[in-house]
Chains A and B, each alone.
Chain A
């Protein structure tokens, strides 16, 4: 069975807000690791309701996103969608970690710096 994943994006990053995302990255995988299709879809309007509708109609199983309101989070969980939320940073990095089975909710993946100097925490 195909595995479908969606990431609401904002340029190169995971969109900071699920409800304000204007684009989504969609990945469809078959078998273990074979990518059947990947695409970036531009949404006609940023809206949490419409995004939830898209997720359900496209039978998406996993959502990687930034901030999401509890109402929509609980709705998606209820609909058996896995939601990895509060992820920030480059979406490609998030996808890499997800594929490696190491992406957790609340992951901050961006490079940290203050006044141009890298910061380690």
Chain B
């Protein structure tokens, strides 16, 4: 069919012979025909437009000098195609004659003669510029100030946040650990009219009561031993801005009263001062605790809850946002591969199956950590199951159950401190949760719990000691 290099003709397909160039030029993707030694035999107009090399320029030249792709240099697929006689498709980039870097997908396929013998290759080059741009736009479309999600639950959050940001009311953000409460608080500040003011964050659970009071409200010189000078406190630092109180559920009762006074009068009284200061601060509070339950137990003031609860944003756990898991996996893969300058393009099918079925008890934070670990570990263009943290595939079936589901129904203060402080990230955490779940189910009977876990009683006892569980 191919008669000569200058004007090859296709005969026998239709009644009149067809010029091969016209046939090939109608294909919108770049097509290049190579001989067995990877030298250019023919190419179409789309290829000329993409690379800037004409048929005449390219004839008989090694394909890597015309295509100038990163794949040609780093992992030329010719040997693989010649060996397996199967097409190979890879994503990469080329630099054309205008010195533009163009993202492309290259598909190299073997050309066989009538006897099934390899006689050359056909390579198609697809311009991925539009697709890459769409990817960027798509990822932006499903996000709000770095919060990613396309599930209906998150769409509701994205719709309400700009409205809340424009008002000046207090906001209470609730949700499990790792759901992005801090991100939401910062996003609210950034899009509010207070964005030019300070965004001050304080973790109510991180400091002892005496220090926390001084941190929040400030103190006068000599108010207590060690108070050598006046301290303004976070409220005054956040003047004309936003004060974000995270872990508000851990705020001691005495400070809850003081906070309530501020919410009513907008005046703060530093420690040791009789003079109050008027401050213009918007309050945003967050907690992973169930404040209503704490109110019932008398551990949180009802009136403070009502003051804070003017506007409430609940961030759903990742297990209720299944539609977002894939989006987040791709987002973090892209983020870390760029940060670490690695050429990783996707997750393998098996790895993806594990990641999509895993129950993320540590929510987005845990997912992010898993992807960061995998991107660091992997040396291939795709993330395989071996690159995932061991606890994901070794004990996958156990983890598919929700280990916290039952535990979280119990009062949070009944759970040992070691468990409360650490979101599930490792196998040790998961094992600790399993033990707790078994003990809750068996009402604290260790023999039955050990049986449920498939361990001996001494193993359970050893692990309880190891994880410092108070049972």
> A residues within 8 Å of B by Cβ?
10, 13, 15-17, 20, 66-70, 73, 85-86, 88-89, 106, 108, 110-116, 118-119, 121
Q: Which of B41, B61, B64, B96 has the most CB of A within 10 A?
A: B61
**Contact (Cβ within 8 A) A113 B60:** yes
> How many whole Å from B132's CB to the nearest CB in chain A?
16
**Contact (Cβ within 8 A) B68 A67:** yes
**Contact (Cβ within 8 A) B59 A86:** no
Task: Determine the chain B residues whose CB is within 8 A of the CB of A16 once the complex forms.
Answer: 64-65, 68, 72-73
> How many whole Å from B260's CB to the nearest CB in chain A?
56
Task: Determine the chain A residues whose CB is within 8 A of the CB of B72 once the complex forms.
Answer: 16
Complex Cα distance A86/B58, Å?
13
**Contact (Cβ within 8 A) A88 B61:** yes
Task: Determine the chain A residues whose CB is within 8 A of the CB of B100 once the complex forms.
Answer: 69-70
Cross-chain pairs A/B with CB under 8 angstroms, 24 sampled: A15-B73, A16-B64, A16-B73, A17-B68, A66-B65, A66-B68, A67-B95, A67-B96, A69-B95, A70-B98, A86-B97, A88-B61, A88-B62, A89-B65, A106-B97, A110-B65, A111-B60, A112-B59, A112-B61, A114-B40, A114-B59, A115-B37, A115-B41, A119-B5
> B residues within 8 Å of A by Cβ?
5, 35-37, 39-41, 56-57, 59-62, 64-65, 68, 70, 72-74, 94-101
> How many whole Å from B393's CB to the nearest CB in chain A?
33
Complex Cα distance A66/B59, Å?
18
Task: Tell which of B41, B64, B96, B99 touches A114, judged by Cβ atoms closer than 8 Å.
Answer: B41
Task: Determine the chain A residues whose CB is within 8 A of the CB of B73 once the complex forms.
Answer: 10, 15-17, 20
In the complex, what residue of chain A is closest to B40 when comparing beta carbons?
Answer: A114
A-B CB pair tally, cutoff 8 Å: 73
**Contact (Cβ within 8 A) B5 A17:** no
**Contact (Cβ within 8 A) B61 A110:** yes
Given A16-B64, A20-B74, A110-B65, also A121-B59 (CB < 8 A): yes
Task: Determine the chain B residues whose CB is within 8 A of the CB of A116 once the complex forms.
Answer: 37
**Contact (Cβ within 8 A) A115 B36:** yes
> How many whole Å from B353's CB to the nearest CB in chain A?
34
In the complex, what residue of chain A is closest to B66 when comparing beta carbons?
Answer: A88
Task: Tell which of B60, B65, B68 touches A119, judged by Cβ atoms closer than 8 Å.
Answer: B60
In the complex, what residue of chain B is closest to A18 when comparing beta carbons?
Answer: B95
Complex Cα distance A15/B94, Å?
14
Q: Which of B41, B64, B94 has the most CB of A within 10 A?
A: B64
In the complex, what residue of chain A is closest to B94 when comparing beta carbons?
Answer: A67
Complex Cα distance A12/B423, Å?
56
In the complex, what residue of chain B is closest to A111 when comparing beta carbons?
Answer: B60
**Contact (Cβ within 8 A) A68 B35:** no
**Contact (Cβ within 8 A) A108 B57:** yes
Task: Determine the chain A residues whose CB is within 8 A of the CB of B39 once the complex forms.
Answer: 112-114
**Contact (Cβ within 8 A) A68 B60:** no
> How many whole Å from A16's CB to the nearest CB in chain B?
5
Given A17-B68, A70-B100, A119-B5, also A110-B62 (CB < 8 A): yes
Task: Determine the chain B residues whose CB is within 8 A of the CB of A66 once the complex forms.
Answer: 65, 68
Complex Cα distance A64/B134, Å?
36
Complex Cα distance A89/B64, Å?
11
**Contact (Cβ within 8 A) B99 A121:** no
Task: Tell which of A20, A68, A108 touches B61, judged by Cβ atoms closer than 8 Å.
Answer: A108
Q: Which of A66, A67, A111, A118 has the most CB of B within 10 A?
A: A67
**Contact (Cβ within 8 A) B36 A17:** no
> How many whole Å from A93's CB to the nearest CB in chain B?
13
Known: A114-B5, A115-B36, A115-B37. 4 other contacts (CB 8 A): A66-B65, A112-B60, A115-B35, A121-B56
> How many whole Å from A70's CB to the nearest CB in chain B?
4
Complex Cα distance A111/B59, Å?
10
Task: Determine the chain B residues whose CB is within 8 A of the CB of A20 once the complex forms.
Answer: 70, 73-74
In the complex, what residue of chain B is closest to A46 when comparing beta carbons?
Answer: B73
> How many whole Å from A73's CB to the nearest CB in chain B?
5
Task: Determine the chain A residues whose CB is within 8 A of the CB of B68 once the complex forms.
Answer: 16-17, 66-67
Complex Cα distance A115/B111, Å?
14
> How many whole Å from B225's CB to the nearest CB in chain A?
56
Complex Cα distance A57/B5, Å?
48
**Contact (Cβ within 8 A) B99 A108:** no
**Contact (Cβ within 8 A) A17 B95:** yes
> How many whole Å from A40's CB to the nearest CB in chain B?
18
**Contact (Cβ within 8 A) B70 A70:** no
Q: Which of A17, A66, A68, A86 has the most CB of B within 10 A?
A: A17
**Contact (Cβ within 8 A) A68 B95:** yes
Complex Cα distance A110/B68, Å?
15
**Contact (Cβ within 8 A) B99 A67:** yes
Complex Cα distance A85/B40, Å?
21
Complex Cα distance A113/B68, Å?
19
> How many whole Å from A108's CB to the nearest CB in chain B?
6
